[in-house]
Structure 1
Amino acid sequence: MAKVNRPQVSVEDHERLARKLGVSSAGEELTVEELRRVIDTSDDEEFASMGEAVRDELRGELDDDLIERELSELATQLQRLPEVREAGIPDGETEPETLYRELVAPGWRIYDHLVETGFFESVEAALPRFTPEHIERTAHGLIRSEPLAAALEECGFDERERTVLVMNVVNNNNRLARWTPTKDIPDEVEFNVEDVPPLQQRAMGGSLLWVKNLDIHLWQKKFLITDEILDDGYWDVKAMLGGLYVMATAAHAIATDGSLSDEQLAAALSASTAIMITNQEEIVKDMFWITEEMRKPSTLR
């Protein structure tokens, strides 16, 4: 089997995470379990209020059976990722086989349901835009939420990978700040704001589109693709689907009125958005923008 790269994390990444969360790393790798023991465990009433607002707005609107069914299927697809990486590039003589598109099939069904029910509009209305303070509080909520950690573990994220997802949230202040909620886009921009979906919809829909397009992209560019490109993209895909899984888990908690507290719900919605946004940008650099330095050497040279 091909060697699947785990997410690459530097000492500096861990130090930045520790610094922003106000804990000591002592030059060692941090884990979510260790962070849970040392971070502030005080209740966040503002986050609880946000979660309550979303829950109240969407109560009775979401189909818990549909979301539960597709969450199970999404977990199955996440478990298939090593198999997909082993295949590498889709086969096919005249068109690519369905490889990556199968990974996102349950995600699309979840996405369509959330669009139909106004889920994204309700979430964006309740959550603020990304600021350093909001990102830090989101990370605290994500770390403290044992149900979310358990859900990610069940669908194939080990301790190190769960920690990297927290890093996706905490260590990307500037990147996340560039993604403006639709409600905050000024009227004087040169496009119709009414055509811009809510931020959370852009995060989920964009993630699904990037993964969906990998079949045709890799098949068309197969003479350029290296194992390193595939390995780097493996984590980007897994992280985006993990973010989607967290958001869908939050939606299921709303539909069933359980499993997550209001505070955990707000943290899950905010963190999942951040994870999907961050890794959308990463997959562009890792798999789609293939530079001369990245590409497989030409056999014609």
Structure 2
Amino acid sequence: MPVFSYVTDAMVQSNVPQPTAERQRELASTLGVGGPTTGERLTVDRLREEIDADPDDSFVSMGEAIRNDLSGRLDADLLAAALPEIVAQVGRVPEVREAGIPGGKTGPEALYRGLVEPAWRVYHHLEDVGFFESVEANLPAFTPEHIAGTARELVRAEPLSTTLEECGFDERERMVLMMNVANNDTRLSRWTPTREIPEGVEFEVEYVPPLQQRAMGGALLWVQALDEHLWRKEILITDAILDDVRWDTKAMLGGLYLMALAAHDIAAGADGSLTDAQLTAALTAGTAVTIVNQEELMQDAFWITEEKRKPSEASGREEELPWQ
């Protein structure tokens, strides 16, 4: 059976990056399956039919090691409570986008900050129990082989795909997230595990957090900064920028959710629903998505070029800005 289905232009949402034919061919090559023909697109279900169903033994071993290392250290109740709250915030992203620029005369109202409040609680808990140190110690760097293995496990792991669907990501969005993982080995390889940062760099390595903590914390900080940034730069912000912000934010929340889901699965012990290989894939993919989309957010919303900077009517706020 071919590994694609026909998609019409009416199904394309303007604010989600399109899975172009080139990106689909790159993904297919990584997975070792046939690429799409003209007018057709890859789908997760079709990919699942084409790849080997057996999990990667190394992913099983890594997941098992992480579980053993973190056994008894995570708060299952805290994580269980946070997961539906993160899902609820994913559902609020369109509402926040429609609000446009945060209002307020002396400072911005909290639009984007509210989206990450549940994930911040998860982050602080994971930081407190040494979660990030354990994950970094048991996972390899972002090598092409590890990234390809993660992409294959994501395809195999129906629970992860179903979870993202329940979290509010449609078929095309899930494919874009998968491409963010599989098609960015060069970009991801620049994020070096702390243990592999060479001596002699111009900063104190001992103060550098683990890679997964940098990814999760960075995503949270970038989203949190949006209220202030958009409010202060209102005169430069266009609807196109706000549309890009919408997708980048939603994607990062999806990555954060995968990491929180993996942490909860560890905390649940025997009641967990993920296999060891799926656990490894969720942690790696969640980290990769937060990295790729926080970098995209920087380019989309914070590095505003002359081509991008046009007046925006998104906020409807007419009072003078602080510097006027």
Q: Which TM-score bucket, shorter chain as reference?
A: over 0.9
1:268 paired residue among 277, 282, 296: 282
- Compare relative contact order (CA 8 Å, sep 6+) and give the higher one, 1 or 2: 1
Instruction: Tell me the residue number matched to 2:119.
Output: 107
What does 1:236-275 align with in structure 2 at a 5 Å threshold? 236-257=248-269, 258-275=272-289
- Displacement of 1:297: 4.9
**Contact 1:50–1:126, Cα closer than 8 Å, also in 2:** yes
**Contact 1:232–1:286, Cα closer than 8 Å, also in 2:** yes
- Displacement of 1:223: 0.7
**Contact 1:4–1:82, Cα closer than 8 Å, also in 2:** no
Cα distance in 2 between the residues matched to 1:42 and 1:285: 39
**TM-score under structure 1 length normalisation:** 0.96
What do the CA deviations read for 1:209-250 (whole angstroms, capped 9, x no partner)? 000000000000011100100111111111111000001000
**For structure 2, which runs of at least 5 residues remain unmatched after alignment?**
1-12, 313-324
**Contact 2:69–2:134, Cα closer than 8 Å, also in 1:** yes
Instruction: Tell me the residue number matched to 2:309.
Output: 295
**Contact 1:97–1:215, Cα closer than 8 Å, also in 2:** yes
**Contact 2:36–2:42, Cα closer than 8 Å, also in 1:** no
Instruction: Tell me the residue number matched to 1:229.
Output: 241
Cα distance in 1 between the residues matched to 2:293 and 2:185: 14
Q: Secondary structure at the match of 2:29?
A: helix
Cα distance in 2 between the residues matched to 1:291 and 1:200: 30
The answer on 1:82 being equivalent to 2:94 is: yes
Instruction: Tell me the residue number matched to 1:286.
Output: 300
1:65 paired residue among 70, 77, 91: 77
Instruction: Tell me the residue number matched to 1:98.
Output: 110
Cα distance in 1 between the residues matched to 2:277 and 2:70: 16
Cα distance in 2 between the residues matched to 1:237 and 1:297: 22
Q: Secondary structure at the match of 2:109?
A: coil
- Displacement of 1:25: 2.1
What do the CA deviations read for 1:131-155 (whole angstroms, capped 9, x no partner)? 1111000111111111111111111
Cα distance in 2 between the residues matched to 1:84 and 1:236: 13
**Contact 2:238–2:311, Cα closer than 8 Å, also in 1:** no
Q: Secondary structure at the match of 2:116?
A: helix
Q: Secondary structure at the match of 1:157?
A: coil
The answer on 1:11 being equivalent to 2:25 is: no
What does 1:147-162 align with in structure 2 at a 5 Å threshold? 147-162=159-174
Cα distance in 1 between the residues matched to 2:43 and 2:114: 31
What do the CA deviations read for 1:141-182 (whole angstroms, capped 9, x no partner)? 111111111111111001111111110011001000111000
Share of identical aligned residues, percent?
64
Q: Secondary structure at the match of 1:24?
A: coil
Instruction: Tell me the residue number matched to 2:31.
Output: 21
Instruction: Tell me the residue number matched to 2:152.
Output: 140
- Displacement of 1:187: 2.3
Q: Secondary structure at the match of 2:41?
A: coil
**Contact 2:237–2:311, Cα closer than 8 Å, also in 1:** no
